[in-house]
Amino acid sequence: MASRFPHSSIDSVPLVGYKAHKLSYVDDGNRPSAGRASPIGSDLPSLYFYHDLLWASCCKFYLGAIGGHYGFAHVPFFDWLREHYHLQRNHFDRVGHFIQGAAVTMVTRELLLRLTPMRIGWLLKGYVIAIGMALSMSYELFEWAVAALRLPMSVEFIGMQGDFWDAQWDMFLGLLGSLLALVSLSHYQDETLRHEFSRLRE
């Protein structure tokens, strides 16, 4: 079967912890090549153990762990900020949505560059933002479903803190995080990918 990645030169091994080898970067400098006739899953270990996607995964995990431990509306440091600066709410969840937007954007961008024929450009940016917003919207719909079911923990889970526009603010901050990540981190990610692929080619 012909590969849908014509520029590829990788022989992949679908094992957990596998280290990619013979990776190449397309000569036009616009995107890394993906695995020849390889399942997406075989590339994931190298993404998470050999590249800077690790920071995004860890950041998202720790934010969720902190919010789950204290409750997103009751994280102590942000309670202190609210009292000290006379804020109307605990803003941990807002910061979390902003960082989530940035993290999901960079993870999605690298996955698209590695595993699809997509190249760097406006189409890639559009796809990355659309995927991030779709995930954000899906989470808000999930929160709405929990509220509609009137489950005992629904008020605490949703964490509106009296803000009628909480869902809209969450999605907006996710979008803002996504846009700022694209502007500030895309060049760094591209250079890191080029360096990694050049090293693995040797």
Query: Which amino acid does the sequence have at 105?
Result: T
Q: List the domain boundaries for the chain.
A: 52-188
Q: What is the pTM of this model?
A: 0.66
- CA distance linking residue 202 with residue 195, whole number of Å: 11
In 3D space, the residue among 23, 91, 8, 108 whose CA is nearest the CA of residue 57 turns out to be: 108
**165-200 exposure pattern, b = at least 16 Cβ within 10 A, e = fewer:** ebbebbbbbbbebbbebbeebbeebbeebeebbeeb
pLDDT, tens digit only, all 202 positions of the chain: 433 333 333 333 332 333 333 333 343 444 444 433 334 444 444 444 445 566 777 777 888 788 778 877 788 998 899 888 988 888 888 898 899 899 899 989 988 988 888 888 999 999 999 999 999 999 888 888 877 787 776 666 666 676 778 888 989 999 999 999 999 989 888 888 887 766 544 4
